[in-house]
Amino acid sequence: MQNVIKKVVILGGGTAGWLSAALLKKVIGSNIEVEVVESDTIGTVGVGEATIPPIRLVNRVLGIDEADFLRETKATMKLAIRFENWKTQGEHYYHTFGAPGKSVAFCHFHHFWKRAKSLGYDSDLWSYDLNYLAAVEGKFAQINSKDPIVELPFAYHFDAGLYAAYLRKLSESMGVVRSEGTVIEVQQHNNGDIDALTLNNGQVVRGDLFIDCSGFKGLLIQQKLGVGLDDWSHLLPCDSAVAIPSERHTTTAPFTRSIAHSAGWQWRIPLQHRNGNGHVFCSRYLSDDEATHVLMNNLDTKPLADPRVIKFTTGRRRKQWHKNVIAIGLSSGFLEPLESTSIHLIQSAIVRLIQLFPHAGIHRSAQDEFNQQSELEYVQIRDFLVLHYYLNERSKDAFWRDMRQIELPASLAHKIALFKQTGKLFREQNDLFLESSWLQVMLGQGIEPNDHHPIANAMPKQQLFDMLQSVKRVKDEPLQKLPMHDRYIDNLINRVK
Ligand SMILES: Cc1cc2nc3c(=O)[nH]c(=O)nc-3n(C[C@H](O)[C@H](O)[C@H](O)COP(=O)(O)OP(=O)(O)OC[C@H]3O[C@@H](n4cnc5c(N)ncnc54)[C@H](O)[C@@H]3O)c2cc1C
């Protein structure tokens, strides 16, 4: 198709729809019209409240004031995820957004730590990570340091409904048009491209490019264009979740909790006004009622609504961009929220679309590039999630025993073997998760590498111990000055507007 793109229609007003609208309008706005179609009757999925640090880039690009954002979306800060009972019942570890220690001379810090351990200097690797230290003490502040060793990378927890409303207000203030109504018919051109959407109120919405943000059903990408789904249930078999909000705790933790149960895991996301809770589970091992029972029994504050069950299939659309339709959000596929990656996938898809924007018409090469990059991103995140399950040592539950038997994708099997044998880790091309993430989950789930890098042997024993102590001092020093997380938020949101 060689037509100039003048109007983009976004079908769906959830997080995907409004984030796409806001970013598109902000970045290439004056050249295009953007219209969002959403149905109040259908509503949104209503979950999706934990994020990862790249979200801060979105806020920067959109010119969002952090205090205003926190006030409006009831957000809190997130430094890490605490994984409980994942390796074995009763054990826990943190996957933080930071990194332990300080890497030197092409060699990651954990090799030095491991050699010191073999020489009798036993210390916890996480105690060299400021994110971990702040998380366990419930502290937080933004640190603007020139030295990456004392940075405190963070993300947000926020109320999903308030977040979509916030993005809607922002988008409309930039000129995005909103049409309310349910799409009942989709018209196509002779070549299969989408031409227009007809709503139940008779309105017809025409466009040159359509972004399908219609949620799991993928109204355009799947129901109309039928691109198909690569089903990854054999690797990530959880297919259901039950979600419920509950009262907030008096102290707000600056991290998400992920608690393993007999056939899945429970999230707890602390917000300013409530907690978000949910139990992700596999229906082959647990019924909806049983899963709900587990969740209700493990809520540590009073429920604020009835539990709600959500069904899903893990996988990704075979093509995320097909004809003049780009699927963004749940319509593009789904990976369970274990590492809070779905909103990030929305962000990266819209950034990719902006970078490849077909202003002068759609070219096959741009579509192929978009689809290849999207596939790689999905596959890399999938493998990181599989890692958590595969490395478990829980023997009591059939689900967890079966997860240890799954046939791993070759690249993941290689990564695990390399770490086990040598302690070495390498970041794959553009992998969202850096070495420090893989390291924390591999160690946390119980891999003890057999070896460390020989560079760590070059340092005399006492110098090595001194180095560890000095890194620890550098990490501990800013901790003393950090305020409690709640106080930080209170100060920020009560700041004069
Ligand atoms: C259990 C669970 C937990 C999750 N937790 C996290 C998390 O912690 N972190 C994270 O990053 N992500 C999480 N996610 C993912 C996150 O919820 C989604 O990525 C995010 O909410 C975006 O959803 P969406 O906008 O694609 O779809 P939806 O919110 O479902 O929105 C779909 C939109 O399309 C509209 N629509 C549909 N059909 C029609 C029609 N016929 N006519 C008009 N409009 C229509 C609807 O009205 C709605 O506005 C989670 C998902 C699930 C299922």
Q: Is a pLDDT exceeding 80 seen at residue 148?
A: no
Q: Is a pLDDT exceeding 90 seen at residue 428?
A: no
Say if strands 33-38 and 7-11 run parallel, antiparallel, or are unpaired: parallel
In this prediction, residue 98 carries a pLDDT of 95
Residue in 78, 102, 114, 319 annotated catalytic: 78
Q: Is a pLDDT exceeding 60 seen at residue 49?
A: yes
Q: What are phi and psi of 346, to 5 degrees?
A: -65, -50
Q: Is a pLDDT exceeding 90 seen at residue 106?
A: no
C-alpha pair distances (Å), 134 with each of 37, 92, 98, 158, 371? 42, 17, 11, 20, 39
**Closest of 179, 158, 177, 178 to residue 64, by C-alpha:** 158
Q: Is a pLDDT exceeding 90 seen at residue 87?
A: yes
In this prediction, residue 29 carries a pLDDT of 84
How large a percentage of the chain has pLDDT more than 90?
A: 94
CA–CA distance, 479 with 148 (Å, rounded to integer): 15
Q: Is a pLDDT exceeding 70 seen at residue 222?
A: yes
Does 310 contact ligand 1 (Cβ within 6 A)? yes
Residue 70 pLDDT grade (very low, low, confident, very high; cuts 50, 70, 90) = very high
Structure tokens at 168: 């809607």
Q: Is a pLDDT exceeding 60 seen at residue 103?
A: yes
In this prediction, residue 496 carries a pLDDT of 56
Q: Are 128 and 475 in contact (CB under 8 A)?
A: yes
C-alpha pair distances (Å), 495 with each of 25, 78, 170, 273, 331? 29, 21, 21, 18, 39
Whole-prediction pTM: 0.97
Does 13 contact ligand 1 (Cβ within 6 A)? yes
Q: What average pLDDT does the chain have?
A: 96
Q: Is a pLDDT exceeding 80 seen at residue 181?
A: yes
End-to-end CA distance of the chain: 48
Tell me the per-residue pLDDT of 304-333, one tens digit each, with 9 for 90 and over. Answer: 999 999 999 999 999 999 999 999 999 999
Active site residue 424: no
Distance 16 CA to ligand 1 centre (A): 7
CA–CA distance, 397 with 474 (Å, rounded to integer): 43
Instruction: Give the E-state strand segments of 163-251 in sequence order.
Output: 177-180, 183-188, 194-199, 204-206, 209-212, 229-231, 240-246
Give, using CA atoms, the residue closest to atom 6 of ligand 1: 48
**Closest of 332, 313, 314, 312 to residue 322, by C-alpha:** 332
Distance 47 CA to ligand 1 centre (A): 7
What would the mean pLDDT of 22-34 be, rounded to a whole number?
Answer: 92
Residue 441 pLDDT grade (very low, low, confident, very high; cuts 50, 70, 90) = very high
Residue 102 pLDDT grade (very low, low, confident, very high; cuts 50, 70, 90) = confident
Tell me the per-residue pLDDT of 371-407, one tens digit each, with 9 for 90 and over. Answer: 999 999 999 999 999 999 999 999 999 999 999 999 9
Tell which one of 10, 11, 44, 201 to mutate to probe ligand 1, the residue whose CB is within 8 A of the most ligand atoms: 44
What would the mean pLDDT of 147-168 be, rounded to a whole number?
Answer: 93
Q: Are 298 and 280 in contact (CB under 8 A)?
A: no
Does 266 contact ligand 1 (Cβ within 6 A)? no
Domain boundaries defined on the chain: 7-76+158-232+314-366, 240-311
Distance 228 CA to ligand 1 centre (A): 19
Tell me the per-residue pLDDT of 241-297, one tens digit each, with 9 for 90 and over. Answer: 999 999 999 999 999 999 999 999 999 999 999 999 999 999 999 999 999 999 999
In this prediction, residue 104 carries a pLDDT of 78
What would the mean pLDDT of 345-369 be, rounded to a whole number?
Answer: 96
Q: Are 165 and 71 in contact (CB under 8 A)?
A: no
Tell which one of 15, 222, 432 to mutate to probe ligand 1, the residue whose CB is within 8 A of the most ligand atoms: 15
In this prediction, residue 495 carries a pLDDT of 74
C-alpha pair distances (Å), 144 with each of 85, 137, 147, 152, 469? 35, 20, 9, 9, 24
Q: What angle do CA 228, 336, 48 make, to 5 degrees?
A: 105
The three-class DSSP label of residue 348 is helix
What would the mean pLDDT of 191-202 be, rounded to a whole number?
Answer: 98
Directed axis angle between helix 435-444 and helix 410-422, to 10°? 80
Q: Is a pLDDT exceeding 90 seen at residue 414?
A: yes
Q: Which amino acid is residue 225, in one-letter code?
A: L
Residue 203 pLDDT grade (very low, low, confident, very high; cuts 50, 70, 90) = very high
Fold entry, domain 7-76+158-232+314-366: FAD/NAD(P)-binding domain (3.50.50)
What would the mean pLDDT of 217-246 be, rounded to a whole number?
Answer: 98
Does 377 contact ligand 1 (Cβ within 6 A)? no
What would the mean pLDDT of 409-414 be, rounded to a whole number?
Answer: 96
What would the mean pLDDT of 402-419 be, rounded to a whole number?
Answer: 97
CA–CA distance, 111 with 77 (Å, rounded to integer): 31
Structure tokens at 365: 């090469």
What would the mean pLDDT of 442-452 be, rounded to a whole number?
Answer: 97
Say if strands 315-317 and 333-334 run parallel, antiparallel, or are unpaired: antiparallel
Q: Is a pLDDT exceeding 60 seen at residue 1?
A: no
In this prediction, residue 260 carries a pLDDT of 98
In this prediction, residue 30 carries a pLDDT of 80
In this prediction, residue 497 carries a pLDDT of 55
Q: Is a pLDDT exceeding 90 seen at residue 226?
A: yes
Q: Are 231 and 341 in contact (CB under 8 A)?
A: no
Say if strands 33-38 and 92-96 run parallel, antiparallel, or are unpaired: unpaired
In this prediction, residue 333 carries a pLDDT of 98
Does 264 contact ligand 1 (Cβ within 6 A)? no
What would the mean pLDDT of 459-481 be, rounded to a whole number?
Answer: 95
